[in-house]
Chains A and B, each alone.
Chain A
């Protein structure tokens, strides 16, 4: 990758802010594969097999190891981000779907839907460090920027559970709307956004109060779209604290939210059944996975416009971009 970036350097110098090409990894839930894209040309570099029903995907802070939830294999598969070779697997418990890596790169926090547990796995020793009992059907996982708190959302209990990262004990529970799927902190850690797919809302949880409380619930409305299909799933916050992007599932839209007021500013039309999203490291672009149109949409973050879509494998679900 370094050599590739070097070759592009003369061209990059023409721009005010030189953008380096990064690799974009997209899991194809039905295709049982990962598609690799170039974040500058948006060409498909390659596609490699990733086990059965790959969904959640993340990458180590050094960009070397790729972690993929192979849901139907009941394991997390670890791949070399350069060679795409499978290195080993991690004990995940059954049916892993989403997870979050500690900002330091270790450990990995995995939601196990079948067992009502969050499994904490050491990615170096490949040992299970702890199993934290949570609500029914745990799904979304997030780690606070200070790495002190792990958030897990449970889809049938309808709670965000706040887990102390040192004791692995639940310290708070916040009731949110039906089927909470994803949790995302602002970069300053002051707010937590939790999407409720069936409830159709995003709860904004104030983290600066004495204990986490819901400050607001964001709801959505798009002319011509039945309210039932406005189903928030993936959430991403910009590092500068200005914008929140929310993937609205079968509404085929990404909502753009002003992070200061938590008001919806706009809806961007993307592909069909949008699941998850990831920024490029400089946050110039946001990539969305569109499960029913077998493509990803590329959003120009500053312009708040969809600039193109790229065909990937069958039923794309998760996405991650290599760090610089």
Chain B
């Protein structure tokens, strides 16, 4: 930023502070929409009550610390509702004058919220992975801090190519979101030159996920399910619904590594990550929340920090100005991933490295070395500008 624009930002901050006769207030919220689902396969994955909220609280604290020096006050409201109440909850936030809202919800709900929000509200998608929301169904009032399915599947396939594990057995679930994820893996394989040698569908036949019989039946079922597959180097699991993937490692007929929804997983964040100053960040979060940081927390933190940076640098806090600054070439955010994060101006997606984890450590970080791009190696992950069907961003 030049000296002139910096001086201007300071001026605007002063104006912002003066305009209300005291410290100016930037009102933000997190709206989490919880669908009723059964317990996860692993009880370690059970969502905490403050999922996403705690991350946003840390981001808000960070903004408030900065605000103490710039005369800007940040407030955060957190709200968890069921899908039927999502739209009225957003209306209530609007009525309170809150125009900057991070949303942790599934794609169809986010779409409905974006329709209702109108141009005076800026939503930050801190949950949904759906490609369509970044593509043909993109909305001008939604910025995506959560990575898309294609960013995640590209991250995994780049790593498989680096390992020369190019023959993939793709096992996907029977839910719509599983099929979308499987499609994303097909496209990633075609993009980077991996071969899906065979596909199998693991049908969700219902039933309780928790039984007293435990692992005994799984140990018999999975080898049978995976036997006589075409020769493959790796199993990729597409199981967003969380029905079967964690059962694949160690149980497959052929001894092969598993990636995707189990084994080596692509994530926006995980609690063991320590590089690039992340240790202190994890420590601050754990002190605040009393638990480990989840992806939704990191994404909600990102949403708050995008708001904080835009307000601090532009000196303006209205949703339109925050959006304009976030999408501008001036915007950049340090977020413990080793390089600055910026937005794709053509669809509002935050560019970010994806961590690949086995659940214990950071195994690798994509994009992998050698995947080059004319603008940013981060654009080797996910839909790129020439392919986008998003119209709402003037693309």
Contact = CB atoms under 8 A, between A and B. Distances in A.
B221 interface: no
A215 B7 CA distance: 11
B354 to A, nearest CB: 15
A116 B287 CA distance: 13
A156 B6 contact: no
A155 B66 contact: no
A238 interface: no
Interface string A175-193: 1011100000000000000
A228 B1 CA distance: 17
A215 B65 contact: no
Contact of A213 (B3, B281, B340): B3
Contacts of B9: 175
Interface stretch (B110-118, B179-187, B331-339): B331-339
Interface in B268-306: 277, 279-281, 283-284, 305
A155 B333 contact: no
Contacts of A228: 339-340, 376-377
B65 A157 contact: yes
A135 interface: yes
A214 B3 CA distance: 6
B340 A135 contact: no
A159 to B, nearest CB: 6
B69 A173 contact: yes
Contacts of A82: none
Contacts of B3: 213-216
Interface string B359-379: 000000000000000001100
Nearest to B333: A178
Nearest to A170: B69
Contacts of B25: none
Contacts of A155: 277, 334
A157 B313 CA distance: 11
B318 interface: no
B50 interface: no
A198 interface: yes
Interface residues of A, number: 30
B201 interface: no
B195 interface: no
Given A157-B66, A228-B339, A228-B376, A179 B334 contact: yes
Contact of A199 (B2, B6, B66, B340): B340
Interface string B1-14: 11100110110000
Interface of A, secondary structure class, is loop
B62 interface: yes
A137 B69 contact: no
Interface in A152-176: 155-159, 161, 170, 173, 175
Given A135-B65, A156-B62, A157-B69, A178 B334 contact: yes
Contact of B340 (A95, A175, A178): A178
Given A136-B62, A175-B312, A214-B3, A198 B340 contact: yes
A214 B340 contact: no
Contacts of A116: 65
Given A113-B280, A157-B66, A198 B6 contact: no
B69 A159 contact: yes
Nearest to A201: B1
A203 B320 CA distance: 29
Q: Which of A156, A157, A158, A197 has the most CB of B within 10 A?
A: A156
A226 B69 contact: no
A175 B65 contact: no
Contact of B332 (A95, A135, A177, A226): A177
Interface string B332-355: 111000011000000000000000
Interface string B63-95: 001100110000000000000000000000000
A197 B9 CA distance: 22
B72 to A, nearest CB: 12
Contacts of B277: 113, 137, 155, 179
B332 A199 contact: yes
B379 to A, nearest CB: 12
Contacts of B309: 158
12 contacts: A116-B65, A156-B305, A158-B66, A158-B309, A173-B70, A175-B6, A175-B10, A178-B333, A178-B340, A214-B6, A228-B376, A228-B377
Interface of B: 1-3, 6-7, 9-10, 62, 65-66, 69-70, 277, 279-281, 283-284, 305, 309, 312-313, 332-334, 339-340, 376-377
Interface of A: 95, 113-114, 116, 135-137, 155-159, 161, 170, 173, 175, 177-179, 197-200, 213-217, 226, 228
- 6 closest cross-chain pairs (CB), A and B: A178-B334, A198-B334, A179-B334, A157-B66, A228-B339, A173-B69
